[in-house]
C-alpha cells in the first residue's frame, strides 16, 4: 500500500484503508447511517472498485441523506487522511469527506471538513458552472462551540470535479491542520484539535447547494464515486 500521495512514505504508518474492491460495504469498518438516524432505502453500492452513493428520493418523493461512517469502528487522533473520488452534480447536492467527534454532547462536537462541495450554488456563487457541475470545494474546521468556525478555505476554478477522480486530503498535527488537493497544499491553519474523530463520507442536501428538485439527477450515474479512503498515523 503506498503512503500518502505527495508525502514521504517513511514518515507514516497505515492505520485504516478501504479500497472498495468487494461487492458490499465492509461492516467491519463502516456503518451506513448515523447512530441516531433511521433506516432508509439503499442508495449506495460497492462495485467496480469503488463506493458509489447517489441522490435518490424515498417513497414520499423526498431526497434523503446517506452517511457512510466509521463511528464505533475506527477513531484516530492526528495523522493523514485521504480520499480519491469523483463528485456528483446538480441542484441541492452536497457531498462531503470529513472527520467528527462522538465523545462530546451535541452541539459541542468538533469536526474537520476535508472536502465539501455545493454544485447547486451556480456560477455566481463560485461553487459550480452553468450546468451545476462542481468546480470548487471547501475545507473547514469547527472547534465544537456552535458557530465557532476556526478555519475555512474555498478553492475555486478547479474544472468539473464530477468529470474525473481527484485526491482530497488533510494532515492533522497537534495545533496544525494542512489540506491538500491532488497532493498540492492548498490551506493550512493552526487550531488545537486533540479529540479523537471518526471518518464520514456522505451525500447531504441543502446549505449553499440549495434544495434539490426535479432537475437534480438521481441514480447511480450521478454517484459520489469513492475509489478509496485511507488514513495513516505518524511514525
> pLDDT by residue (tens digit) across 180-199?
999 999 999 999 999 999 99
pLDDT at site 39: 87
Query: What pLDDT does residue 146 have?
Result: 72
Distances (CA, A) of 69 to 181, 223, 225: 22, 17, 15
Whole-structure pTM value = 0.97
Fold of 56-234: Jelly Rolls (2.60.120)
Q: What is the pLDDT of residue 36?
A: 85
Identify the pLDDT of residue 151: 93
CA distances from 129 to 91, 132, 221 (A): 11, 5, 19
List, for the chain, all residue ranges whose pLDDT scores fall below the cut of 70. Answer: none
Cβ neighbour number for residue 214 with a 10 Å cutoff: 8
Looking at residue 13, its pLDDT comes to 98
Q: What is the pLDDT of residue 35?
A: 84
Amino acid at each position: 500500500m503506498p503512503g500518502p500521495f505527495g508525502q514521504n512514505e517513511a514518515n507514516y504508518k497505515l492505520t485504516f484503508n478501504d479500497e472498495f474492491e468487494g461487492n458490499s460495504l465492509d461492516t467491519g469498518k463502516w456503518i451506513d447511517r448515523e447512530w441516531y438516524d433511521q433506516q432508509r432505502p439503499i442508495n449506495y453500492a460497492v462495485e467496480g472498485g469503488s463506493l458509489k452513493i447517489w441522490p435518490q428520493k424515498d417513497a414520499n418523493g423526498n431526497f434523503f441523506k446517506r452517511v457512510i461512517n466509521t463511528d464505533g469502528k475506527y477513531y484516530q487522533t492526528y495523522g493523514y487522511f485521504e480520499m480519491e473520488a469523483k463528485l456528483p452534480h446538480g441542484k441541492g447536492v452536497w457531498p462531503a469527506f470529513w472527520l467528527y467527534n462522538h465523545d462530546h454532547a451535541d452541539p459541542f462536537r468538533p469536526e474537520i471538513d476535508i472536502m465539501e462541495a455545493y454544485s447547486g450554488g451556480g456560477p455566481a456563487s463560485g461553487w459550480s458552472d452553468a450546468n451545476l457541475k462542481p468546480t470548487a470545494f471547501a475545507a473547514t474546521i469547527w472547534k465544537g462551540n456552535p458557530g465557532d468556525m476556526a478555519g475555512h478555505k474555498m478553492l475555486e476554478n478547479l474544472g468539473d470535479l464530477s468529470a474525473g477522480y481527484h485526491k482530497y486530503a488533510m494532515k492533522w498535527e497537534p495545533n496544525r491542520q494542512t489540506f491538500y488537493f491532488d497532493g498540492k497544499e492548498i490551506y493550512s491553519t493552526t487550531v488545537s484539535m486533540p479529540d479523537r474523530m471518526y471518518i464520514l463520507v456522505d451525500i447531504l442536501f441543502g446549505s449553499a447547494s440549495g434544495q434539490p428538485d426535479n432537475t437534480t439527477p438521481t441514480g447511480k450515474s450521478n454517484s459520489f464515486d469513492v475509489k478509496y479512503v485511507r488514513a495513516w498515523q505518524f511514525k
